[in-house]
Structure 1
Amino acid sequence: MGTLAITSLAAAAGVVAQRLSGMGLSLMCVPFLALTLGPLDAVRLTLLLGFPVYLAVAITHRRSIRWAQVVWLTVPAVVCTPVVALLVRNAPERPLLLAAGGCCVLAVGVLASGVTSRRLAGRTGAIGAGVLSAAMNSVAGLSGPAVAVYGASAGWGADETRGTLSIYFFLLGVVALPSLGWVEVPVSVLLAVAGSALAGDLLGRALSRRVGDRSVRWSVLVLSAAGGVLTLGHAAF
């Protein structure tokens, strides 16, 4: 399968997942994009793709956003991001591929376990989740798992999760993309990803009332795990 086909399918699937569950864009996109574009451009392109998607979801669920938690998550993440991004930009590709694949598989395992703790629900938990999220975002584009665990521990509902995480991802991307540098891929790839993302958004809206959260969650986790394993295999061999 060619580069355009893989990037297009990954973008469409990631946007559908984000529309349905409030996360999943980076889990779906980064491991597959890393196979064709390299780990750094995979993260950059996913961040770029995320801006309109996250903003649209946040606007849709704006009444459910927990703004206090957004602040406690975002401030430490914004402080941490440029430091980690500087290290990532100077790192060789193979370790980044291994890190991206490993982080993806680890994130899937954490989310699949459903681990939560009331101890993680306070301000200290939010700060820790923001720092870990920013680090994983710069290395592997996976800002979601750490803050998703925090949200689950804090008892967020589905709409609160969609709205709060989306505006957090958007704000983090505003800092992360300039820190990591502009996407260095052909214009044809950018156009293909943009078209696929639009199609994914329309499909996600159509499916949002027909597909249960549990089905979406497990589909995202299974596909993400497969992408992480493929990325690890590609880096190893």
Structure 2
Amino acid sequence: MGPEVIAIAVIAVVVGATLQRLSGMGVGLVVAPTLALALGPQLGAFVANATTVCSGGLIMLTVLGDVDWRRWWVFAGAGLVGSIPGALLVRELSTGWLSIVIGAVVLGALVLTFTSPRVPHVQGRGLPWLTAAAGATGGFLNTASGVAGPAMVMYGRFARWPQQAFAATMQPTFMVFGLLSLTTKATTGAVGLDALPPLSLFGAIVVAVVAGIRLGSLLARRVSPEGARRLAVVLAGLGALSALGRGVLELVG
């Protein structure tokens, strides 16, 4: 693995962690398609999962008082249910098809999340079922593509979840989704441990996450959460289009 690949990964993680600190999401959206291009889709999504574990855990420490732990437990349990088929899908798909899946998932999720009309308000008895469905979908998408954020954003819209509590709860949620994805991929053979990048890359990612969180804290007074989300969407869209194009070229080439 050359220094240029490590540099690309570190820059993507710094940007993603900064946007995550500002808006509550961004690591998966930005990092997953970028690392899929730099490292390949299987390994790229795996490293993106490891990044969300680190970023979610560190940011969570700053927002513990706003986390809705009752919903988090549902997300965690349902996320395991979704993560297993996601790992099996990664194991069976070729590199080209997996690149297409990652690109299509990110693009489709962005379109659905940010262009769909006003959704109905789900409450009462329907809310626990919606919470479980969102957790399972998020776990599946996070394992298959490294991106769970859009599924959770849609849940937040249906549940009319206030932004502060939503952004706080997403941090331990993304952390546990990342842990589930890493575990199920390793145990199902979706990503071989012998194919992992050197430990130095993971060390660089930890430093990049810390730097991104710090940068996000410094920018918090100047950049609105909505502005950060818009930037995350643009960067994620560009990365997803590139991953999709790469997958198509691999299949037809």
TM-score by length of 2: 0.87
Q: Which runs of 5+ in 1 are unaligned?
A: none
Asked if 1 retains the 8 angstrom alpha-carbon contact of 2:122 and 2:159, the reply is no
Partner of residue 105, structure 1:
107
- How high is the sequence identity, in percent, across the aligned residues? 26
2:138 to 125, 128, 133: 133
- For 1:81 and 1:189, the matched residues in 2 are separated by 25
- For 2:198 and 2:69, the matched residues in 1 are separated by 38
Asked if 1 retains the 8 angstrom alpha-carbon contact of 2:96 and 2:246, the reply is no
- For 2:89 and 2:107, the matched residues in 1 are separated by 22
- For 2:207 and 2:225, the matched residues in 1 are separated by 25
Partner of residue 122, structure 2:
119
Partner of residue 11, structure 1:
13
- Over the residues paired in the alignment, what is the CA RMSD in angstroms? 1.9
1:185 to 197, 200, 211: 197
SS of 1:232's partner is helix
2:88 to 86, 89, 93: 86
Partner of residue 167, structure 2:
162
- Quick check: 1:236 aligned with 2:241? no
Name the aligned partner's letter for residue 9 of structure 2: T
2:153 to 123, 145, 148: 148
Asked if 2 retains the 8 angstrom alpha-carbon contact of 1:58 and 1:162, the reply is no
Partner of residue 197, structure 1:
209
Aligned residue-pair number: 237
User: How much does 1:4 deviate?
Assistant: 2.2
SS of 1:60's partner is coil
- Quick check: 1:76 aligned with 2:81? no
Cα distance, 1:59–1:75 mapped onto 2, change above 3 Å? same
User: How much does 1:109 deviate?
Assistant: 1.0
- For 1:187 and 1:196, the matched residues in 2 are separated by 14
- For 2:115 and 2:147, the matched residues in 1 are separated by 17
Cα distance, 1:64–1:191 mapped onto 2, change above 3 Å? closer
1:208 to 209, 212, 220: 220
Q: Which runs of 5+ in 2 are unaligned?
A: 187-192
Per-residue Cα deviation, 1:162-203 (whole angstroms, up to 9, x for no partner): 211111111222221111125711344334333322221210
